Amino acid sequence: QLKHAKTETADRVQIELFANIELPEDAIQAVKLGAVGVGLFRSEFLFMYRKQALPDEEQQYQEYRRVVDLMHGLPVNIRTIDVGADKALGGGGDISQTGTSPLGLRAIRWSLTEPEIFLTQLRAILRASAHGQARIMIPMLAHAKEIDETFRLIEKAKQQLHQRGKAFNPNIQVGAMIEIPAAALMLPLFINRFDFLSIGTNDLIQYTLAIDRADHAVAHLYDPLHPAILNLLSSIIDQANRADVPVAICGEMAGDPALTKLLLALGLTDFSMHFSQLLLVKREILKANVGLLKARVPRVLRAYEPEEQAKALERLLS
């Protein structure tokens, strides 16, 4: 019954729940559990653990189209390859050695150094967009010149497909992940250039707090409730909402039912998470009163001392 209930709060604020997926098969479970789209398709999993060459345009197109077909017209945000740090590509050769630093050559930085691989992926996503709501989502942007180069390559991919007579949606939506503090601090640029935003809280937290999550010596300092994180999230969500640009959170915070009311209080209405968390988060949403939560959240955002914050959070969540 929970699965079929309308996803809205006790005071009738409508909330959208999306699924994060790694493989096309995950979309089947996402639909069964009531997701209204794929908020994050981690496309790099199509490239990893391969002994043979990287998937070509046709292979990628078939996989992306499969997800689009399974979602029956619902949006599918396909994140372009996010290699590096904890993820390296298969296929052998130099491209499998992407470095392990979270501050190194990864995500869009890597894609822009490998324009042919990037163009191949863009063409595959564009072709899938002819069959449904495939959307392009770019990870780890921080510079205006990266945005310019990304859009230049998207246009080039469109021209290549047009010359080949391949169908695609010329008005495909393009979104940006906000996961670097620099992006959060110059959000108006992203609001003006992109159709939607998605906050990658996992990376945003580790970059804001200068913590490598893979380093066990400092992993305990990774704190989603750090006052700087909460104020940063509040600012991003508020600016996007004011500009009427859709904004979601697709990091682990979105799938943690203990944080659902807090995120609602910050103004979030789009959550994206592993499909196994969808109903747990939905249960919290149905019980929440957003008006009441928003009235209590300023005290949380002003609290910098741990004890003060704990009391403010307890009052918010009570």
> Does residue 209 form part of some domain?
yes
Q: Is residue 170 part of a domain?
A: yes
Range list of β-strands (E), the chain: 16-21, 38-42, 76-79, 134-138, 174-178, 196-199, 247-249, 270-274
Give backbone dihedrals phi and psi of 79, rounded to 5 degrees, phi first.
-75, 130
Q: How far apart are CA 183 and CA 190, in angstroms?
A: 8
Q: Is residue 313 part of a domain?
A: no
Give dist(CA 43, CA 41) in Å, integer. 6
- Structure confidence by residue, pLDDT tens digits, 209-237: 999 988 999 999 999 999 999 999 999 99
The whole-angstrom separation of Cα 110 and Cα 55 is 17
Q: Could you tell me the two tokens for 52?
A: 């043979």
Question: For position 87, what pLDDT does the model report?
Answer: 55
Long-range contacts of 52-59, Cβ-Cβ distance < 8 Å, separation of 24 or more: 52/91, 53/91, 53/92, 54/89, 54/90, 54/91, 54/95, 54/117, 56/120, 57/120, 57/123, 57/124, 57/127, 58/124
| Residue 45 exposed, middle or buried by CB count within 10 Å (0-12, 13-18, 19+) | middle
288 near 261, Cβ under 8 Å? yes
Domain span including residue 275: 2-289
Reported pTM? 0.95
Residue-level pLDDT at 53: 84
How much is the pLDDT for 99?
A: 53
Judge whether 296 lies within some domain.
Answer: no
Is residue 160 a contact partner of residue 119, using CB atoms and an 8 Å limit?
yes
Q: How many domains in the chain?
A: 1
| Type of residue numbered 88 | A
**Residue 318: inside a domain:** no
The CATH number given to whatever domain includes residue 71 is: 3.20.20.60
pLDDT at 83: 82
What was the pLDDT predicted at 98?
46
Is 295 a member of any domain?
no
With respect to residue 300, please indicate whether it lies within any of the assigned structural domains: no
**Mind listing the pLDDT tens digit for each residue in 89-107?**
655 444 544 455 788 999 9
Cα 184 from chain centroid (whole Å): 14
Q: What is the mean pLDDT of each run of 10 residues along the chain (318 residues)?
A: 94 99 96 98 89 90 98 98 67 48 92 98 99 99 98 99 99 99 98 99 97 93 98 99 99 98 99 98 98 98 97 95
The answer to whether residue 308 is domain-embedded is no
